[in-house]
Structure 1
Amino acid sequence: MSDAVITLNQLDVPKIRELISTGSSSCAFFHPKAILRQAALVDDGHARGLNHSARLEGVPVALSDNIDSIDMFSTIGSPLLEGRHPRWDASLVKRLRDDGAITFCKSKIAEFNLGQSPDISNPLDLERQVGLAAGAAAALVACGIVPVAVGTQSLGSIAESASYCGVVGFKPSSRLISQSGIFRASKTLEQVGIFSKTVEDAALLAEIVLGSDEQDPDTKGVLPRPLLAICKEEIPFKPNFVFLKTPDWVDMDPEAKEAIEALLEELADQITIIDLPEST
């Protein structure tokens, strides 16, 4: 998106392919025939009354390029793996499909999901970045291409990219979501996260993909969780927070510092402020 924020559903297929091939979109891959096939299956299931329990019926979902799906290439952001076509879906992709979702596109990532996100404009300000490795997935949600996207993080890119792009970012605790069929830059640090426009959407998607998977021993014993119901409940108590002021606080951008100080004042009775010393 060079001059304006455009959603893919406003464009025809040749224009979408042009945007992707020239690097002007945060999509890495887009397969229109596969999308139409999925949509036809969803429509058929709906007509036959088979989708009565599908909570994501017809919802387009973007996947990070390190998450395998049988209908699109998964190159993990590397030219070394150009043309790599997975033979099966990642476990979480299968769960999304089983609940009626449509895999819409793959989002760009840094090569082997290491480092900064590829050169992609932030939909909120085209002169700014979208965050770390998962930034492209956050950008897809921010500009309305998809309502939800799934990415991964090892160094905090879900939270960072969500804040950069003004969307909800949710990274469940470690080992709650199967990583079978997902390339991990680090087996212990890499975790699945979700981007959406609302907390409820993130909770619903997480509720669907979360749980034990025999293909991933790390999820053994993980039970389903009613995340959507939980996030709609009243908070039973006021949460307390700790705010850590690092030595770099004095160098913070004045506008950012002013906004944070206003928040600290608003939540003064719930926040403990700790000044961290210089490292030695």
Structure 2
Amino acid sequence: MDDPSRLDATTAAALIARRELSAEALLRACLARIAERDGELRAFVCLDVQGALAQARALDAGPLRGPLHGLPLGVKDIFDTRDLPTECGSPIFAGHRPRVDAAAVALCREAGAVVIGKTVTTELANMTAGATRNPFNPAHTPGGSSSGSAAAVADFMVPLSLGTQTAGSLIRPAACCGIAGFKPSFGRVPRAGVKPNADSMDTVGGFGRTVADAALLGAVLTGDKRLVQQPLPDTLRIGLVQGPDWGEAESDVQAAWARAVQALAPQAQRCEDAALPADFGDVAAVQAALQAHETAAALADEHRRHPDLLSPALLALLDKGRTIGAVEIEAHRTRTARWRFEVDALFDGFDVLLAPSAVDEAPEGLQHTGDPVFCRPWSLLGLPSVHLPFATGSTGLPVGLQLVGRHGEDHRLMAAAQWAMQRLA
């Protein structure tokens, strides 16, 4: 414990619970790491050093509050926080001070988490990148839109952080930064106090350095203790889903896929291709269209009153979303409902689906955050997913894959993910 910031969340929580590590000592180690590294990586928008220290001291002086007792937490800057500004990565919200916490933040505080600061988001949680850099190579993106949250966990600034996903904003930055990212089933975590993007897909989740850490945070967010209590399975039935856009996968992702199948198949009860709906090749386009339409509605006031403060890319997305008519949207929703039914039926024969998380290692450059194409299907269908960080690409940046579970069976997904990681590590 020379440097407590290096502890994963599960280990740190256990040490704090046994009073072998104080919340203040862990917090000070994380603050020292932030002071050392954040000037380069720029994961944080703002910090509340004195407030966090006061929280940690109060926790050390009192009884255990919950499973996150004393764990420093980064919060994506689209979550309302009562003691810190919420600026959503946009000048439109400069200096905005909410009066209450977002529900997810409140749940974490109630469980004993110490909110250390707000992490960088892309512009209004869309595609225009923020200032954050990849901890493995600062010339590369950390992914987005939960950019700062992923980078802060990966670089040992905090053990846990909150993020959101509408297309790929949890799983893709987890892949870029080599950590575990968890997107719960749609609707399992309250979204009150989180800046909306697309109402039928926005999902609150988070990051940890291990799958167990992500499960710990997920149990607090969903209120489902089974995420940390579910026994690991003896074996798994794994459906392989390269998906209709597998041709976009670069060689490093293809190599990770081959390695995973080789490692998991001999110990799985079943490991074979899962048959997707015949017209599933349109899934990414349908998700993108619905997201654009819903985002145009969610950001209607920003679009109308502050177009000069929006990036050209976001303006183009909002303009596109407004041109999609009601008949087309209804057709997309009808197909989505059918796909949900058809894909759900796959879980009668498989416990989980193995799928790619990202098309490649984190792209070079900070102007874009990567392609979410491999995450779009599961966001559209509202299925829980978790990134498995187990491989390294040809340039030394992280690569991994995701497991996808049945809606509402997040606890079984997380147990399956830990089973898989034991065999992939």
TM-score (norm 1): 0.79
Where does residue 9 of structure 1 map in the other structure?
31
Identity %: 25
Distance apart, 1:12 and its partner CA: 8.6
Q: Which has the higher helix share?
A: 2
Cross-structure match for 1:100:
112
Counterpart residue type for residue 141 of structure 2: Q
Counterpart-to-counterpart distance in 1, 2:144 and 2:133: 13
Residue 36 (structure 1) aligns with = 53
Which segments of 5 or more consecutive residues in structure 1 lack a partner in the other structure? 1-5, 212-223
Please tell me whether the aligned partners of residues 264 and 271 of structure 1 are also in contact (alpha carbons under 8 angstroms).
Answer: no
Of the three residues 9, 18, 25, the one matched with 2:42 is: 25
Instruction: Give the C-alpha shift of residue 133 in structure 1.
Output: 0.3
CA 1:262 to 1:226, structure 2 compared with 1: closer, same or farther past 3 Å? Answer: closer
* Structure 1 CA distance for aligned equivalents of residues 77 and 57 of structure 2: 24
Over residues 127-170 of structure 1, what are the superposed CA-to-partner deviations in whole Å (9 max), with x where a residue is unaligned? 22111201221111000000000111101221111111110011
CA distance in 2 between counterparts of 1:79 and 1:247 reads 35
The 1-side partners of 2:172 and 2:56 are apart by 33
Matched, 1:153 2:165: yes
Separation of aligned partners in 2, 1:26 and 1:167: 15
SS in 1 for 2:144: coil
Q: SS of the counterpart of 1:149?
A: strand
| Distance apart, 1:261 and its partner CA | 2.6
Q: CA deviation at 1:53?
A: 4.7
The corresponding residue for 1:258 is 255
Alignment pair present for 1:82 and 2:94: yes
* Larger deviation, residues 92-101 vs 233-242: 233-242
User: Alignment partner for residue 200 of structure 1, among 188, 212, 217?
Assistant: 212
Judged with a 3 Å threshold, the aligned counterparts in structure 2 of structure 1 residues 271 and 121 are, in CA distance, closer, same or farther, namely same
Amino acid at match of 2:191: Q
Note the residue ranges of structure 2 that are not aligned, 5 or more in a row: 1-5, 7-28, 283-425
1:239 equivalenced with 2:247 (yes/no) = no
Q: Determine if contact 1:244/1:274 at 8 Å carries over to the other structure.
A: no
Corresponding residue number in structure 1 for 2:272? 271
What is the total number of aligned residue pairs between the two structures? 250
Equivalent of 1:118 in 130, 142, 151: 130
* Residue pair 1:117, 1:136 contacting (<8 A) in 2 also: no
- Would the aligned equivalents of 1:132 and 1:160 in 2 still touch at CA under 8 Å? yes
Deviation beyond 6 Å, 4+ runs, structure 1: 273-277
CA contact under 8 A between 1:25 and 1:120: conserved in structure 2?
A: yes
TM-score, normalised to structure 2, is 0.53
Closer/same/farther in 2, CA of residues 12 and 260 from structure 1, 3 Å limit: closer
Aligned partners of 1:267, 1:236: CA distance in 2, in Å?
A: 12
- 3-state SS of the aligned residue for 1:270? strand
Please give the secondary structure, in 2, of the residue aligned with 1:103.
Answer: strand
Please tell me whether the aligned partners of residues 117 and 130 of structure 1 are also in contact (alpha carbons under 8 angstroms): no
Cα distance change on mapping 1:11 and 1:246 into 2, 3 Å: closer
